[in-house]
Chains A and B, each alone.
Chain A
């Protein structure tokens, strides 16, 4: 009988332990979204510091050798963005977003922005104005899961933006934003993901901000292999002109053209030391060249600032040959990857050419053959 009692007691204890374990496990609910957001805001510098952010600007650049073109983000509120791109300070593309619509100006053309790009820009406007925190997404976020990436553990919060789900990964140890993943769908590409990994957090004016991003597309998309982007020249609370966020003007200047004559500006200049030549990007485009009626192998007089050169015009840079690469030759030709024309100056003497600031005046005159 005693044995039976003992058995019953043991069974009851065991049953209680199992029940407690099961109910205890079930009680372990998802992390509280509000607590994650609160800790995320604190980790980035705190609510007061973030609220004191009136505007923020920074350059996003890919590493050399193509680091000479950048995108500059200017954000003043969750709904106010200006994105300038080009060889800064020369700007050849501007986007503005005022919370309702986007305007774009690319070489004075206004193409329609893809829906997924709009979602991306809207999302980043909210993120940046909230110092890369969840501050501006509060009401829209749901807990999705906890994910482990090697030694990193992330809380994943998700928000619906347009037709797209955006997933925000918050580090479970430091509560900083580590990843942003867009689940996208495109009629032609099908389903794909655009991912941003954020790293290199540094403290700037009391805010902890990422200085590096790695972006790639998974599935379809344009950058399946991905690229590393550095964030630099970060400026906070600048005095910006009144209409700054509405203004889509490009600053590389206009071109004047007539038969055998062109006038425009220098957008970018680089000295390629290992190959001993200077590379100058101009703002002349195909239609300008057409108007000037220049033809391949025309001899031209080229003025860059206060310097003058005898040069050769080529309709494409691929027409270059060894002879033309010899020291001292100057060539004006179409860029192989951009809709603009370039000047190539071969030889050591061009390393220290002066007055080649961005937007320096360039004049081109065809040298007529002597009869």
Chain B
């Protein structure tokens, strides 16, 4: 039995008899079983074990959402669907626009059984004027790529502060699109939760803020937990992202046994918070889908806590809690420290080199760490976790500019 099969053995028992259970949604009939001396048993796989309602939207979704920052084939999404995933998250710019197209292909014929989330304006230049007309064009482009006539949830992507949208005509345009039936629900995704999760309760954003996606994991997020609770109490859908705290297990040792892996434990921790509806995960390959889905409905165990402790100990002085932001106010030059550290994470930990470099190129030149070498390093002093922030900024600048 392979590692993954061993890991998911109990999940297999829970979902059906080996060979008879292909999957709740699986369209494969015995006719789909190979012709070579047919009749071989199809192996049992992990399955989604928990479905939740996203806030007050009434949308029922799997506790794990298929994230699409990078996946090598539309068949990976279709596989996740077969394993019970019913919510698919994308953005206009993921994989250079290819992610929406992949979903269009993978989810054909399943539209009424799935919830699709997409996002716009993730890549905006400093000072760029955002308009309702742009939003309409973007929504139409997404509908075309996704081969659908409605989007379940549309997010303003990577909101830093509501100041970015409050004086635009975006909010009335979102409402207009809802009336037209092109979109059903709205909200935002954010890496600046300490700011945006406070601002979002302003009554003037009530209609817009229906679902929120924020960074939350076992290494950061404690600070925003009261606001997550408030969101939940107000019936706003809550989705956690960046759940693996950098996913640095690849560089570490002994983070897996034959029953449970670090990502599964990290996901369980996030979903252990009753105010978090679900978690979004980039399922890049069939194997990632199996591994992550193995964590659906799973509860934390004593050994898990020890594993997370070990992870925190090992990466404590290395992992930047980018939503913490303690360092940024200390910088006399206004360097966009948390954004730059996030791009470093995309580049070094996620392997999204091109995306990281493109994002960095869009950053306002004045907010880049160009003349940090001569600074005494206020950011390093301010970091509550002892990270060598200044050195990392300088190296990241080199890395993302070269």
Interface set of A (CB-CB < 8 Å, partner B)? 25, 27-32, 35-36, 39, 63-66, 143, 145-153, 155-156, 165, 167, 172-173, 179, 181, 183, 188-193, 195, 197, 199, 212, 214, 216-228, 272, 274-275, 279, 317-322, 325, 336-337
CA distance A178 to B155 in the complex (A): 36
Q: Can you sample 7 A-B contacts with CB below 8 Å?
A: A27-B39, A149-B79, A183-B3, A219-B255, A220-B252, A226-B284, A226-B285
CA distance A188 to B43 in the complex (A): 30
Contact assessment for A219 and B261 in the assembled complex, using a CB-CB cutoff below 8 Å:
yes
Closest Cβ of chain A to B394, distance in Å, is 4
Closest Cβ of chain A to B15, distance in Å, is 14
> Which A residues touch B370, using CB under 8 A?
321-322, 325
Closest Cβ of chain B to A307, distance in Å, is 22
> Which A residues touch B43, using CB under 8 A?
145-147, 156
CA distance A279 to B402 in the complex (A): 8
Contact assessment for A148 and B42 in the assembled complex, using a CB-CB cutoff below 8 Å:
yes
Contact assessment for A214 and B284 in the assembled complex, using a CB-CB cutoff below 8 Å:
yes
> Which A residues touch B374, using CB under 8 A?
321
Closest Cβ of chain B to A335, distance in Å, is 9
B37 on the A face (CB < 8 A): yes
CA distance A172 to B33 in the complex (A): 8
CA distance A256 to B272 in the complex (A): 61
Contact assessment for B254 and A189 in the assembled complex, using a CB-CB cutoff below 8 Å:
yes
CA distance A151 to B26 in the complex (A): 9
Contact assessment for B256 and A191 in the assembled complex, using a CB-CB cutoff below 8 Å:
yes
**From A146, A223, A274, contact of B361 by CB (8 A):** A274
Interface set of B (CB-CB < 8 Å, partner A)? 2-4, 22-23, 26, 28, 32-43, 45, 70, 72-82, 106, 247, 249-258, 261, 263, 284-288, 291, 349-351, 353-354, 357, 361, 370-371, 373-374, 391, 394-395, 398-399, 401-402
Closest Cβ of chain A to B222, distance in Å, is 25
> Which B residues touch A319, using CB under 8 A?
373
> Which B residues touch A199, using CB under 8 A?
72-73
Contact assessment for A31 and B37 in the assembled complex, using a CB-CB cutoff below 8 Å:
yes
Given A148-B79, A190-B256, A191-B3, 8 extra CB contacts under 8 A: A150-B75, A150-B79, A190-B254, A199-B72, A214-B285, A226-B351, A272-B401, A275-B401
CA distance A167 to B402 in the complex (A): 39
> Which B residues touch A35, using CB under 8 A?
36-37
> Which B residues touch A28, using CB under 8 A?
37-40
Closest residue to A27 on the B side, CB-wise? Answer: B39
| Residue of B2, B74, B254, B373 with highest tally of chain A CB at under 10 A | B2
